[in-house]
Structures are given as structure tokens and as C-alpha cells.
Amino acid sequence: MSAPRVEWPTRVRGRDGSPAPFDVTRIADAIARAAREVGHDDRDMPTAVAHAVADSLGPGTPSVEEIQDRVEACLGERGLDDVARAYIVYRRRRAELRAEKALLGVRDELKLSLAAVTVLRERYLLRDERGRPTESTGEMMDRAARCVAAAEDAYRPGAAREWAERFSSVLRSLAFLPNSPTLMNAGTEIGLLAGCFVLPIEDSISSIFTTLGHAAEIQRSGGGTGFSFGRLRPAGDPVQTTGGTASGPMSFLALYDTAARVLSMGGRRRGACMAVMPVTHPDIFDFVTAKAGSSSALTNFNLSVGVTDAFLRAVTRGGTHRLVNPRTGRVVAEVSATELFDEICRAAHACGDPGLVFLDTVNRANPVPDLGRIEATNPCGEVPLLPYESCNLGSINLARMISGGGVDWDRLAETTRVGVRFLDDVIDVSRYPIPELGEATRATRKIGLGVMGLAEMLATLGIPYDSEEGVRLAGRVMRSIQREAHAESVRLAAERGAFPAFSASRLAEPRRNAQVTSVAPTGTISLIAGTTAGIEPMFAIAFTRAIVGRHLLEVNPCFDRLARDRGFYCDELVTEIAQRGGVRGYERLPAEVRAAFPTAAEIAPEWHLRMQAAVQRHVDAAVSKTINLPASARVDDVRDIYLAAWKARVKGITIYRYGSREGQVLTYAAPEPPLAQADTDFSGGGPRRGCDF
């Protein structure tokens, strides 16, 4: 950059009156964006105009509005009317967005989307007694950073302040975000920062209702709960103390669902729960079909069947399968393994539930087998856990890990290191509503560092999600994160000590955390970060979103930037894409653009599974991923995917056939032509089973 001819401002006054450093490159970038949108190809023009604007401002402290006025004037003086118009339109859009946020009463220095600000206002930001937000979006990040960094002083006095600044910087940049309870509850009286827990249910009324009470404490704080109902005696089994018969696990599952629904009415979000039933349980047929016949059944629960290798081998060979009473350990029936599996597949085809948890695969990877066999997972299946353990999750925003047309491996490694340290600190500062939760969590110190924005990263790089190159890059990215995360956990163990149960583990080298990586669906934090969910593909390139009683047309940010930069953006184009949902069949767009922006419905099921398997190979825990199927998919398609998932050695599998459930969050809605529609919480990816983490 050449030296300024006159003195330029050193500071600029923001719209809220706060000062910030003057940066001429930001002016040039805004002009360049407008120039690209109208096809103006003079690469030197944006810098020249930006320097002229800086010269005209002199050494004072101009306001943002004054700078933008000067840009418009300078473009007009140079005869760049088309660029000026594009700049004015962009400025007007930003002004309208600020006005919408002002109506919500939210200060948003992070420049988030309206949908993100709406959700934060309703659930995350601290509020006064009248319900008005008392913190900005950035201050929410600062609050979480300060709370978590307080753990640092226990290891090095005075370190908390330094790490609070580092944590705040990475959160504010949206390069990494922790699970929702951390953002909601950090620095508050609730103080529960982990996302989800697995709770035990033993075969007694006392255990059933004690666990129900514990689940209520967790759910009212915004956490999710997973359970195995496999230890409960089957329906009709004798109860010696009363002389009656047992109602069975399905009756208590319904009770737990009702409690979760009641709690969600007074909580911050809908309750999220997972029920796992081992495939050997005598009531397995009732469990499998529990949601297939009614859209209102067990709405707060995802269901998964805990299957074994022996069962699936029997399925492939046409063999029989034994059902065992968990109270007595006796075989009570032998059934056709194929018929039971077909019933599972028919139910999943009908409503998306049940999924499968591959229990033998899970337990072969159990880092602490001496502590017990894993029987259940958190609500979305990405973290198989022992009783009372928690999953403390955070996700790296891969869309922010791009530089110079490729992956910024150095930034990815640094963000990974900060993320591991952040999540380890969360364990120390989190409050736990019952002692067993804290004890089990601290014994293994499991954390789950994962990713979001994979689909956006691939699209930005021009790589189709459903391609060999896409699958390879996803695996390489996760391998890099896994390697760096393990190394950081080893470093933390050297500083702070290994997790207390290390001596009972399979690990050869001391680590701070028994488990380090996991890929969550990310839910609302993807919405906050403005990127795609987890490792899911995009649901739609353009769609309408329901916000505050209105339906607003929304365009995928990555596609929006590309379309404007390459000069083919127009409102008519976006409307047409919204009617289609995707762009692959849209011949008016360049072939490489159509290839790089597939939607979930346009991706063949085998590519969904290949992506999940490629990522799972480099993840300690599990991967939350939905295999999206078209409405026309057959039961045999579900069967094929479930068996292929077992052979691919993923730890769990979920499918969702489009339109198979009423009230799905993402739809292509009538009347003709159809419009892709989403509710406020939608953050990317395709329709899937319920989970908001």
C-alpha cells in the first residue's frame, strides 16, 4: 500500500458511538464487493477509490455513516454509477437489517443474521425483569469466555484474564462455538454448561422416578438426556411385591416424554431425549413401532435400537434371534431376525424412528471399558456415554478456516488447540445439579470437539459434497483436528494431570480427556455462526424462513456471496431457486456452480453415508448425521442403508424420508410452485429427527 498523500484518520466512530481503528482496506473491500456484483473488472479501482475517500476525510474521527456517504459521492464523481447503485443497495439492506434488530431490542456488534438475533433474544441473552435484553451478542460471548476462563487460575494464578481474552476473541470471530447451554448458562445461577447427559434406569420404581427427577433438573437448564430402557422388565412380567404385573418400559417411556413436554413449556427450548432399547428386549417390537402410527407420539424423544453384530449377522443369514428377559436373563422367545429387522426398517421409513446404535462398534472404542459397558447415547447419538457422564461439546466453524482458495491448516490447528482447552475448562466451572453427574464427568473428562460448516467450506472451494474429492477433504480435515486435539489433550495432561480414570483406560499415553472429538448436529449454534449444520449438506439454496409471524426470503450466504461476486445475482434468480430449493437442475447457472451446491435431497444416500464414514474414522466418539431419503424411497432402501452403515463401522445411523413426519422443520410447501420453507431454528442440513443442540 502506498503512503498516504495526506494524513488519514486513525479512528472511526461506530454507530453506537464507540471508537474503532480506521481500516482503509475495509472500505476497499466493500467497494470491490459492489463492483463484482455489477461485473466491473477494474481490480485497481476499489483501492483507488478507498484511498481517495481516506484523503478526503483528513485526520479527524469520522463516523461510519460519513465514510459511506463519501464512498457514494466518490463513486459518482468517477462515473461509476452502476457500482454506486450496487453499493447503495447493499447499504440499504444493512440499514434495514439494523432496524429489524433494533425492533427486537438487541445490540448486535457481531453482525449476525436476523434469524440468529431472534433466537438469541428469545433464549440466550440475559434479560431484565421486563424481558428486555441486557447484553449484546458480543457481550454474551464475553460472558461465556470469562466464566470458562476462570478455571485457568487453579492451574496458573492470574491466567484467567489472559485466557478470557483469547476465548472471547475466538467466540466473537465465530471460528468456534460451544454447545448452547454454555452460551445460555455461563455466569448465571443455573451454571450447567454441558449439553447432554446419559442417565441410568434400573428395574425398580425408585430408580425410575429418581432418574426422572434428575432428568427434569437437567432439562429445565437446557440440557438433553439419553437413557437405555433395556434393564426394565417387560410388560406382563410378574411384580412379586404387589402380586400384579409390570406395565413395561413403554409405559415409563411415555411418562418421561410427558415430563419433558411439560418442562419445555417453561424452559428455554423443547426437551431433547434419546431412548435406546437393546434388540434383545422382549418388548422390542412395541418400541420399534411406537412412533410409526402417530405424529404426536413421543415427540420429545428420538428412538434408537441398540443392535449387536450377532443380530445383524443373523439378519444377513436369515437366522433366528433370541429375546431375553432382563430381570431373569432367560430366553423368552426366538424370532426371525429378518422379520424384526424389516419391522425396524418399515417404522424408520414411516417416520424416521428408530435409528440404530451399533453397540459392539461403540464398545470396541470405549476408552474406559473397566468402568462398564456403554448402553446409551446423548439425544442426537454423537456421544455414547456411561451412566451420569456428560457431553461437553464445541464446534469449529470450517467456513472460517479458508484462506487463499484452500484450507487454512495453521488456523485450523490453532482453533483446535483453543477449543480443546476451552472444553476442558468447561468441566471445571460447570455446575452439576446432582453429585453423581459431576463425579462421573470429572472421572473421564470427556469432551467433544467437532465441526460445523463443512458443506459451506466445500462449496466455497468449489468441491461437490457428493464427490471423491469432497469425501477425501472432509476426512483429511477431521484427521487434522483429531491429531491436534489429541496432542493438546496430552499437553494439558502434562500440565494438569491425566483424567482420574486413566489407569482403567485403554490409552497408552496420558491424556487430559478420555474422549476428545465428536461431531454434533450443532443446531442453533450453526444458526448463530451463519453456516451449515455439522457435516450435513445444505437443505436449500434459497428458502423462506418464518420469523416473528412473517416469511422472509433467505439465501444461503455462501451462494449469495458467490452469485454477487460473479455478477449473476438478481432477485428473479433467487425467487426461482427458492421455488426449486436447489440449483443442480437450473441450466442458467454455470455447471461448476451447480455441482458445488447440492442440496440434501439431491445427494444420493450412499454419498451421505460415505461422508459420515469418512469423518467417523477420525472421531473418538460418534458422528451425528442424517441420511436423507426422497419421499419416493422404499423400505428396502432403508434396509440397504442400515446394513451398509453397520459394514462401514459407523457407530450409529439415522435416516429421514422426506415428508414422512408432520410438522418437519424444513419443507417444500404448497401452493404451486413449491417454496422451500424453514422455521426460525433452521441452520442448514436436511430434515432430520428432533434435536436442538
Q: What would the pLDDT profile of 40-51 be if each residue is shown by its tens digit?
A: 888 899 999 999
Q: For residue 27, is it within any domain?
A: yes
pLDDT digits (tens, 9 = 90+) for 459-504: 999 999 999 999 999 999 999 999 999 999 999 999 999 999 999 9
Rounded to a whole number of angstroms, the distance between the first and last alpha carbons of the chain is: 45
pLDDT at position 419 over 80: yes
d(CA 647, CA 491): 35
Q: Cell numbers for 593, please give them.
A: 456452480
Q: Is residue 224 part of a domain?
A: no
Cis? peptide before 687, omega within 30° of 0: no
Do residues 503 and 662 make contact, with C-beta atoms less than 8 angstroms apart? no
Amino acid occupying residue 96: E
Q: Which of 355, 349, 351 is nearest to 377 (CA)?
A: 355
- Within a domain: 77: yes
In this structure, of 274-288, 486-500, 535-549, 603-617, the range with the lowest mean pLDDT score is 535-549
**Does residue 79 lie within any of the structural domains?**
yes
pLDDT at position 578, please? 80
Q: Please identify every residue annotated as catalytic.
A: 378, 380, 382
- Is the pLDDT at 693 greater than 60? The verdict is no
Q: Over the Cα atoms of the chain, what is R_g?
A: 26
Look at residue 67 and tell me whether its pLDDT is greater than 60: yes
pLDDT at 669 over 50: no
Band of pLDDT at residue 6, cut at 50, 70 and 90 = confident
Q: Are 139 and 120 in contact (CB under 8 A)?
A: no
Give the mean pLDDT of 650-654: 98
- Residues spanned by the domain of 91: 11-99
Residue given cell 412380567 in the structure block: 237
Residue 673 confidence (pLDDT):
42
Contact (CB, 8 A) for 346 and 293: no
263 is written with which cell numbers?
Answer: 418442562
What is the residue whose three cell numbers read 454454555? 182
Q: What is the mean pLDDT of residues 94-112?
A: 90
pLDDT tens track for 398-407: 999 999 999 9
Does 325 reside within a domain? no
- One-letter-per-residue 3-state SS of 208-275: HHHHHHHHHHHHHCCCEEEEECCCCCCCCCEECCCCEECCCHHHHHHHHHHHHHHHHHHCCCCCCEEE
H helical segments located in 129-204: 137-149, 159-172, 180-185
Integer Cα distance of 419 and 148 in angstroms? 12
Beta carbons within 8 Å of 219's beta carbon, 6+ residues apart: 225, 260, 263, 264, 267, 271, 273
Domain count, the chain: 1
Percent of the chain having pLDDT more than 70?
A: 92
Higher pLDDT, 423 or 59: 423
How many other CB atoms sit within 10 Å of the CB of residue 329? 7
Instruction: Say if residue 559 is exposed, middle or buried (CB neighbours under 10 Å; 0-12, 13-18, 19+).
Output: buried
Report the pLDDT averaged over residues 649-663.
89
Q: Is residue 451 pLDDT above 90, yes or no?
A: yes
Q: Is the dihedral of CA 104, 106, 111, 113 positive or negative?
A: negative
**86 in any annotated domain:** yes
What percent of the chain is helix, strand and coil (3-state, nearest 5)? 45, 15, 40
Q: Which residue in the block uniquely carries the three cell numbers 466512530?
A: 13
Q: Mean pLDDT for the chain?
A: 91
**Contact (Cβ atoms closer than 8 angstroms) between residue 578 and residue 544:** yes
Q: What is the predicted pLDDT for the residue at 691?
A: 54
580: in domain:
no
The answer on pLDDT for 569 being more than 90 is no
Look at the alpha carbons of 506, 508, 511, 515 in this order and tell me if their dihedral is positive or negative. negative
For cell 488519514, the residue is: 8
Highest mean pLDDT (candidates 10-19, 56-65, 342-351): 342-351
**How many other β-carbons are positioned within 10 Å of the β-carbon of residue 435?**
9
Per-residue confidence band for 20, with pLDDT thresholds at 50, 70 and 90: confident
Check whether 576 has a pLDDT greater than 60: yes
Least confident of 66-75, 453-462, 550-559, 680-689: 680-689
Question: Which of 11-15, 174-178, 412-416 bottoms out in mean pLDDT, i.e. has the lowest?
Answer: 11-15
Q: Work out the average pLDDT over 99-123.
A: 92
Averaged pLDDT for residues 175-194: 96
pLDDT at residue 169, as a whole number: 98
Mean pLDDT on 429-435: 95
Residue 487 in grid coordinates: 496432542
pLDDT value at residue 549: 60
Q: Are strands 19-21 and 176-178 parallel, antiparallel or unpaired?
A: unpaired
Q: In this predicted structure, what is the pLDDT of residue 16?
A: 78
Give the model's pLDDT for residue 74: 94
Dihedral Cα 236, 238, 242, 248, nearest 10 deg: -40
Per-residue pLDDT at 632 exceeds 80: yes
Q: Highest mean pLDDT: which of 20-29, 461-470, 587-596?
A: 461-470
Quote the pTM value.
0.92
Whole-number percent of the chain with pLDDT over 90: 74
**Whose CA is closest to 581, among 558, 556, 557, 552?**
556
Lowest mean pLDDT among 60-69, 447-456, 542-551, 652-661: 542-551
Give the count of alpha carbons within 13 A of 348, CB side only.
Answer: 31
Q: Which of 437, 424, 326, 432 is nearest to 388 (CA)?
A: 437
Q: Which is it for the CA torsion 320, 326, 328, 332, positive or negative? A: negative
Strand ranges (E), 43-103: none
Q: What are 225-275's pLDDT values in tens digits? A: 999 999 999 999 988 777 789 999 999 999 999 999 988 755 566 668 999
In a domain, residue 636? The reply is no
